[in-house]
Structure 1
Amino acid sequence: MSHAPQLRIPAIYMRGGTSKGVFFRLEDLPEAARVPGPARDALLMRVIGSPDPYGKHTDGMGGATSSTSKCVIISRSSQPGHDVDYLYGQVSIDTAFVDWSGNCGNLSTAVGPFAIANGFIDPARLPKDGVFPVRIWQANIGKTIVCHVPLSNGEVQETGDFELDGVTFPAAEIVLEFMDPADEGEDGGALFPTGNLVDLLEVPGVGSFQATMINSGIPTIFVRAKDIGYTGTELQDAINGDPAALARFETIRAHGAVRMGLIRDVSEASKRQHTPKIAFVAPPTDHVVSSGKRIAAGDIDLCVRALSMGKLHHAMMGTCAVAIGTAAAIPGTLVNEAAGGGERQAVRFGHPSGTLRVGAEAANVDGQWQVRKAIMSRSARVLMEGAVRVPAG
C-alpha cells in the first residue's frame, strides 16, 4: 500500500511575549508555499494541527489557544531601511482558516532575535555586547517595528531577570517600538475610523452602548465593562466557560467591525477572526489574577480584558496593548476615562495574568489625533530548533 512521505522543513519554535509560534525562513518553505495562497495556508494549518474538532492540536505544533496557534515567515526585507519582512498567520483551531489580517505584537518580540541568529543581519553591524535595533517591516499591516535586541559576547542574550506577567520564568528584556502604529486609511483620520472618540454602538439582540473604536496596533473595539455586565477583573473561566457570553461578544465584535469599515456585513466576521479585537475596560480596583497574585488598585491605572479568536485572552495581546496605550493617551476615549482622564504618555493596566505598562506618543494635529509610536517591554526565547514534519500533499 502506497503512502505519502513526510516533508522535513527547517523551523524554530519560539516564545515571544505571552505567545508561542513556529518560525520559518521563507526560503525554507516548499516552493508552492513561498507565495500567498491555498498551498501556504494548508501547510501552516497542518504544521499547527488544524482544523481540530477535538480542540487539542494533538497532531501538530499548536497549543489549542489563540496565543499558541501561530506561524511566522521571515525573509530579507523588500523595504528600504529595514532588515527583515515579517509575515504573521493566526491559525484557527477548529476551522480550516488562516487569518492574515493583522499582526501579533507578542511574537514581534521574537522576530528581532530570530533575524540576528539566522543570518539576516550583517555580523559586522552587530556589537559584541550591547543592544541592536532590528528594523522590521510588518508585512501584514505595512508598518515598521523596531526590536531592540540585547547581545552578549556576540550572540543574542535570551536569559535575564526581566519578569513579564503571563510568562512563568524571567528572561532578557527586549524593548519594542511600534512606529506610526495607526492605520492611515484613505482619509488620513483612520486612527478613529468613525471620526469619533466615542460612538453609540447598536447591536441587535444585545443592546446599545458606547464604544471607542480605534486603529492602532490592531483594530480594537473598547466598551465599558459595567455596560455589558462585567467588572473588568474577570479571569478566563468566567468568560470562556459561558457560551452565551462568547456569542454576545462575537456579535458585538461583528457589528463593530462593520462600523469600523473592516467588513461590509456581519456575516463576513467569521472570515476575519483575528481583527478587530474586542475589549472591556474599568477603573482600577483591587483584584486577584490567574497566578493568585493580588493586584492593588493603586498599582494600576485601569483594568482591561480582551478577547482573541473568540476567547478571553490569558494575558494581553501585544497589539491590543498598543491600542490601549494609544487610547489611554487621548482624552475623551473610554480607555482614557477608565484611567481617570487627562493627558498621559504611559499607562499601566491590569489584565488576567497581572499588569503591563505601555507608552504612547499621541498629539492633536490640526484637529486630528495622531500617534507617532508606542513602546513596551517584552521578552523572547528559542524553545526548540530543527525541523517540523508534515505529511506531503
Structure 2
Amino acid sequence: MMCLARPLAATRRCAAVLAALTAPVLMALSLAMPLVVAGAPSAMAQGDPVLRPPGSVPRPPANTGLNIFGGWTLFAPNKPPPPAQAPAPPKQPPPEPEGTIYSSADEATQGKKQPPTTFVLVVGDRLAGQLARGLADSYVTEKNSPAVIASIEDDSGFLPDPPLGIDWLARLPDAIKAAQPNVAILALGSNDIRPLKDADQTVEPFTDRWNELYGRRLDEVIAALRSQARRVIVVGAAPVQSTATMADYARLNDLLRAHAARAGVAFANVWDGFVDEDGKYIAFGAAVDGQRRRLRFNDGVRFTRAGARKLAFFTQKDLARLLAEPTTGETPVPTDGTRAPLSLTDGQRGASALAGAAAASASRPSAQPAALPAGAPGADSVRILTEGVPLTAVPGRADDHSWPPRVLGAPPAQ
C-alpha cells in the first residue's frame, strides 16, 4: 500500500524489493513440488488396502504444531487419551462349604485321627434331609463340631399311612441305636395334611377331631424319640410358594408347637427366615453370610445350599444350648405307668416301651433331701435352702434389728 501511495519513481524500487522477498519463497515451492508429486502415490497406496505393503499399518499424519522459536510449540496437538483399562474381572463368590452327612456314629468316627465326640441325629422327611445338609455345611469349618447323622424318608410323615406307609415308631429305635445322638432333631409333618380315617368316617384336616387324632400321633412319636435321645428339637414346617399349602403349614406349626411344649422339648420356628415383611414367600433373601442369595429352587419347595444353611441356622441356638448341657444322669421318662395312647392304625402300642424305656416304678424316692440332726455340720444350710428359715442374727451385725439393741455375748431374744 505504501508503494501505491508513492510517486511512480518510487514504484520501481518497491517492485524490486517485493521481488527480492518473494524469490526465495518461489524457489522453495519449486523445489518441494517434485517431492509432493512423488509422494502422492505412496500416500494413496497407504490408504488403499490393495496397494498397501504387507504388515504396514496406516497412521494419521502427525500434527506437530507450529514451532516458531524452536523450543515452544504453538497450537500443540492434544495428548492422546490413555489406553482404556480392561474392566476388573467380577469377584467370584467363595465356594459353597460342603460337609458330610453320616448314616451312623461308627461311620462318622471311622478312620479319623480326631473322631467327633458329639453326634446330632436328624430324623424326618425331605425337610429334614435339607436341614441335615445345612447343618453339615455349617459345621464344616468349625473345630470339634458335632457329626451330623441323618435318617431320612422324603415322603414320610407322622402318620404311617400311604404313600409309603413308613412307621417311624418302628424305625426310631434302630436309628437312635446307630447314631447314639447327644441331640435328636425331628422334622416331619409336611406330607400329613390329608383326611384321616376314624372308624367308618373321614375326618378333614384341621377339624377338631382331626387335630385330636393327629395330636395323639405327635405325642407318640415325640415320646418315643425322647425316651432314648432325651434332648429333642421339633422343627416347624417352612413356607412354600403355594398360598393354600402355606396356610396349611401355618396351622400345622401351631399343632407342632403346642405338642412340643406339652412334651417338654424345644420347638424351632424357621418360618420368619423365608418370608418378607408382609409374611409372603420369598425365593431370594439374606443368607447366613449377610449376602443376598437364592434360598429356594424354582419349584417353590426345595432349598438351595444357601437356603439349607439358613434353615439350619434357626435350629443351632437350641442345638448349642442342648449340647452344652451336662450329660450326667438321665432324664426320667415322663410316664405314670399308664398305657400310651393308641395308634391311629391300631398297630404299635406304647411308644415309650417300644423305644426301650423302662417302666417307671409306682414308688419313687422323694426329691426332698433327708433332714439333718440339729447341730450337725451343714444343718443350718439345709434349713435355709429347704425351709427358708433365716439364720439367727449376730448381735451388733447389720442384720440384727432387735430392740433394744442386744449386748455382745447376751443370749438371743426368743
TM-score higher than 0.5:
no
Superposition TM-score tier, normalisation by shorter sequence? under 0.3
Flag the structure with higher helix content.
Answer: 2
TM-score, normalised relative to structure 2: 0.21
TM-score, normalised relative to structure 1: 0.21
Flag the structure with higher strand content.
Answer: 1
